[in-house]
Structure 1
Amino acid sequence: KTPSELMADSVIYLHIYFCGMIFNIVYNMGASILRAVGDSRRPLYVLIMTCGLNIFFDIMLVVFLKMGVMGVAIATVSCQGISACMVTWILIKGNSLFRLKIREIRFYMASLQSVLRIGIPAALEATMYTIANLIIQIFVNGLGTDTVAAWGTFAKIDAIYWMVVNSFGIAITTFVGQNYGAGKIQRMRKSVKVCLLMSYGAAILVSAALYGFAEPLYRLFTTDSNVVRIGADMMHFLLPSYFMYVVIGILSGALRGAGRVLVPMLLTCGGVCLIRIAWMFGVFPVYSGIKTIMLSYPVSWGITAVLFIIYYFKKFPKTEEQILQ
């Protein structure tokens, strides 16, 4: 259902972007290692630097060299490669606790099993999110080019929100994991409360800012008044419900840090992804329109948040004995 006028550029972009996936993997793995040992600054510095370079490359390749979508894709992949090289260099020059020695890279079965036990559920969860988003995009594509453009721009704008909120999820996973290993139960539980409050505060502030500046933000991306109108309506409809995701992000991160990975994955896949997919095939054919699509988000967040709260109070460690179970 992708509009024909968008297909050619989409194919070009994806072909180039997929070539850079390995760079994305290397950066994310390296950044995760650094965060796990308490170094969250240098991954941030790398991102800031490469984002700045990405903007510079976009201007050079698109504005001056007139390379269009191909230029955007090349700029993105180039910066992903730079970020991967930078984080690898940081690991090679790291201290003895986490120094990367290229010649000693090999599989260690005990460590590999632990990584897979945590990583496979997380990978399945991310895959389900992608599948759900692809299905939603298919239905959006049937609503016209202006709606597709507004939806795509919305994803770029609200990425600001998700970066802020997801950073708290990453932080709580690391903090809970460190204290879980040290057996400090009370610090684990207190950190979840503090992180929830901080995340809610940040979520409300960012949502309010995006809500208030919806139209000016859209005009940074397009001069089409109809796209701006549709996009602003999308933001005004969805942003007030974004706070509902905070519970999911923080509690799932805390549970993973405490070694509970399977059930959070099932709750997220079932509560968020499958509900949205069922909504699209069950509700959208009856009440077609962009608002029906958008309504799937707060509905799925609300149900999943309740499930996470119940599971957290039942299974999050309360005593040292539960850590040993």
Structure 2
Amino acid sequence: MTQTRADRSADLTSGPMLQKIILFSIPLAASSILQLLFNAADVVVVGRFSGSTALAAVGSNGSLINLLVNLFVGLSLGANVVAARCFGAKDEHGIQDTVHTAVTLGLTSGVLLAVVGFFAARSLLELMSCPEDVIDLSSLYLKIYFIGMPMNMLYNFSSALLRAVGDTKRPLYCLAAAGIINVVLNLVFVIGFSMSVAGVALATIISETVSACLVTAMLVREKGALHLDLHKLGFHAGTLKQILLIGLPAGLQSTVFSLSNVVIQSAINSFGSTVVAGSSASSNLEGFVYTAMNAFAQAAVTFTSQNMGARKYHNLDRVMRNCLLCAVVTGILLGGGAALAGRQLLHFYSSDEAVIAAGYERLWIICGTYLLCGIMDTLASSLRGLGYSVLPMVVSLIGSCLLRLVWIATIFQLNRTPFMLYISYPISWVLTASVHLICLLVVRRKLQKKGQNLQAA
């Protein structure tokens, strides 16, 4: 099989797994953190130069954006799994079909999101009980943000294809360039032109366009199986079906989490703009811990998929154990550190002591227990890499969404405090991770028997 380039693509089916997982995940984590810096730059700049109302307007949109976007990000995960399996199986034709189908799907989903997000922004915010003093600015931010969604999706799908062959460095370089542009434009638009939330939204979509164009251009310049020919864009029915079978359940799972977060955000909104601003700042900080852990969950998907494609079933246990180890250690170090230094970190977002106190109440609960979320995500990702994408979706539907909705409808009503909202997160992580583990053990036992049968044959 003609490889993309030996120093960029990687065989993830042999050699020291822990070392390869770490080398794969560090650029991936750095890329995710840079993406978060887009949001962080938005939140910090408006919080410092436009006030707490603008801070609440920008920060409170996160759960709603995730609700609309995560379904399609899940589809990019499906493209990653299909491409990784083809790469492991040395199926060059399969990789070509996946590349063109995935990029087409990314652009199509981005346009759909742009239309829905732009026209439904205010109605969705009203459904979430967005505070009256925030809703106009929140709606403006959302409309501008969703205009850039085609480029956002193009980046996600294109970088997913590069990750499938072990290349996590070049997407990082693209985001680094875009991140610098985002910070500079934030300062220019907000401070120089007094554009407030419109300025940070515009800076974000410009920087996302840069990163999308750069990473897509890399696919166009590829010489091997990963080459993107813009004249061949279109859907290949068989490949599209595979992507949807894996990606749709994964996207629905993420959407389920986002739905429960939207419900929780609606409850947070009921406490007023100070608590909303504090929760938004805390949520932004939590994102850095989450993405660092989630890099190992994404590694579990790609490594598992390549080994499944190569039929190296004996590697699957090593992949899962090493990814879990890395996620737990990251959660302890970064999550614990954020919980201990929470008040100092929150000062980067606001100088209002009331906002900082409200943010810290959330931060120490979430970050102090975040390793549980890392375990849950890694186990679910291992299942998806094995081809069982519906199973973790169903488990998450019951263990996270349903539990949190029941919690808000019952226990929260008995004691309507932010603490009672935030504590539902670690409880749902424990229950969902436990069921994921049971499912994974059952699936792995089936695969072990399959491996033995193949060896006997």
Smaller-chain TM-score bracket: over 0.9
Quote the Cα distance in structure 2 between the aligned partners of 1:5 and 1:304.
37
2:398 pairs with 1:270: yes
Render the CA deviation track for 1:61-99: whole Å, top value 9, x for unaligned: 111111100001001111111111111101101131110
Alpha-carbon spacing, 1:103–1:223, altered in 2? closer, same or farther (3 Å): same
- Residue aligning to 1:194: 322
Aligned position for 1:39: 167
Query: Does 2:415 correspond to 1:279?
Result: no
Who is 2:335 aligned against? Answer: 207
Please name the residue that 2:431 is paired with: 303
Match of 1:72 among 172, 183, 200: 200
Instruction: Report whether the alignment pairs 1:313 with 2:441.
Output: yes
Quick check: 1:214–1:232 contact (8 Å CA) kept in 2? Answer: yes
Structure 2 residue 380 is matched with structure 1 residue 252 = yes
Q: Secondary structure at the match of 2:226?
A: coil
In terms of mean alpha carbon deviation, does 247-256 or 68-77 score higher?
Answer: 247-256
Q: Give the equivalent residue in structure 1 for 2:223.
A: 95
Larger deviation, residues 235-244 vs 261-270: 235-244
How far 1:323 moved relative to its partner? 9.7
Number of residue equivalences: 324
Structure 2 residues not aligned, in runs of 5+: 1-128
- Name the counterpart of 1:157: 285
User: Does the CA-based 8 Å contact 1:121-1:262 persist in structure 2?
Assistant: yes
Q: Report the counterpart of residue 176 of structure 1 in structure 2.
A: 304
Matched, 1:22 2:150: yes
TM-score by length of structure 1 reads 0.96
**Identical-pair percentage:** 30
Separation of aligned partners in 2, 1:62 and 1:20: 19
Q: Does residue 6 of structure 1 match 2:158?
A: no
Amino acid at match of 2:433: A
Distance 1:289 1:172, change over 3 A: same
Higher relative contact order (CA 8 A, sep 6+): 2
Q: What does the per-residue CA deviation read over 1:197-255, in whole Å, with 9 as the maximum and x for residues that have no partner?
A: 11111111101221122111111110101111121222122222111112211111111
Aligned residues of 2:283 and 2:363 also touching (Cα < 8 A): no
Q: Secondary structure at the match of 2:407?
A: helix
How far apart in 1 are the matches of 2:152 and 2:256?
A: 19
Across the aligned residues of Structure 1 and Structure 2, the Cα RMSD in angstroms comes to 1.4
Residues 183, 320 of structure 1: 8 Å contact kept: no
How far did 1:149 drift?
A: 0.5
Cα deviation, residue 113, structure 1: 0.9
Q: Give the Cα separation in 1 of the matches to 2:383 and 2:181.
A: 36
Give the Cα separation in 2 of the matches to 1:125 and 1:83: 26
Separation (CA, whole Å) in 2 of partners of 1:106 and 1:178: 25
Q: Take 1:32 and 1:248, find their aligned partners in 2: how far apart are those partners? A: 21
Q: Indicate which of 206, 219, 242 corresponds to 2:370.
A: 242
TM-score scaled to structure 2, two decimals?
Answer: 0.69
